[in-house]
Structure 1
Amino acid sequence: MAKSERIAILGSGNIGMSLARGLVKADYCKPGDITLTRRAVQHLSEEAAQGFKTSDQNSNAVSDSAVIILAVLPQQLNTLLGEINGAIDSKRHVVISVISGVSCADIKAKLGSDVQVIRAMPNTAIAIGQSMTCIASDNASAENIAEVTKMFETVGSVIKINEDLMTSATALCACGVAFFLRAIRAASQGGIEIGFHADEALKMAVQTAKGAADLLLLQNSHPEHEIDKVTSPKGCTIAGLNEMEHQGFSSSLIKGIKLSALKAGELYTKG
């Protein structure tokens, strides 16, 4: 697998389109190097105008590309694999799956045991180059893993994990975007209650959340270390934190992540 090889993204929904836009924005490839597929191809007219190749024929897209990215819903995967099975060449193609709850073995059972499959779990922040992507494989070469890592590093951070943790990565990183967005939304609503206009409260909550995340990322710090800096004895911060904990703030977030991981593991029916 080389950077110059054509890419087919089969299933151009939110993640597929976010990946395509992110790769182009990062200059990893040109729009014309990517084929986007969708059953209702007319919905890709805007992308076609931007230079992306579009198609409603998954098999043709595979034949024209070397890197195949599976980005359909789990319940659509078996149909997709049936469509492309005859077009897959294990000596030429590398298959990347961003589908929740589907193992490398599940895909190889349909496409052939010698097909190199790499699982990747990005999130929608990939569209702006800020994804947290986890990757895993049970048979891909070191060269292909390195190139897939490089691909996703152009659109965010990457960590290689054991495949048995990929469903957990879905809950923490992919579902996690929604969890943190909901927390920001709640903070902005609290801001409205204490006197700010809605647009002011949202901007303040968003920047505060970004600053908190950057404190950890840029200083390689720990949340409790940074919390200690703003919690003084009998102060307003510790009072607010303790009230949130009494109401189950941390517990509810932990339970939500655990439930999402459980659900993610049940989305795909091997059939």
Structure 2
Amino acid sequence: MFLTALLLLQSAALPSFQEVQLRDCIKLARSDPNSAIVNADIMTRAGGGYLADICQAEAHASARDYPKAADIFAKAAALAASAKDDRAANLWAQAGNAAIAAGQNANAITYLTKALDGAGQPPQKRAEILIDRARAQVASDGADGNDVAEDDVAAANADLAEVRRITPDNGLAWLLSATLARRSGDLANAQNYIKTAADLSPSDAAVALEAGNIAAAAGAYRIAREQWQQVIKIAPDSPQAQAAKILLSELDAIEANAADTGSETR
């Protein structure tokens, strides 16, 4: 009797054939997305359902076809939710990420909100989704020449505040909070947030770049120069270093103009 029960438990724990197909298809999607799409089509014709959709979405994401990946992830998430599959929340989050990459920010917010509605997420995972939703809420800033609506800024601030509460050691949340505060003209909070980010990630080029940006916004050009020079020391070949070099050139021009007019920079 005991042996029979043990065998039944072992049998129940074994993955289904379709789950094995999905695992192999996702692995293939990371190295050969086109072949993975073909495999996913075969899975679909064989009745693979939303498991086949998951593979399709992974493959399109690997191929950088983010609009299609977002649509298919969302379809798979809805079907998984109907099936009470615990993967539904993660699939909504993946749909949201793909939508951000596709520039579909409204869709991203919808998908990420559905992901957050899922129960039982650990704080770190919930923090990741909140950060992504905050990114989507302000993603239009500078992208299309339009200002971000006050409601979107408030919503992003609320999401980042929640991340800081549930994962206070999340350096990215403090960095993004600092950036958003600077763009909103709230330099006092920007300085507080970036100080915490720097304490958590003292060798992060992105943090040093933003620290310089905040200092420059406050008119503290000497500190801004020091921070931007630090960016280049930390990660000389990074995109942040390239941005810092441009900002340093602009600062040189400001200081040269100030010298010509007899004014001073701090």
Q: TM-score with structure 1 length normalisation? A: 0.30
- Bigger fraction of residues in strand: 1
TM-score, normalization by structure 2: 0.30
Greater helix percent: which structure? 2
Higher relative contact order (CA 8 A, sep 6+): 1
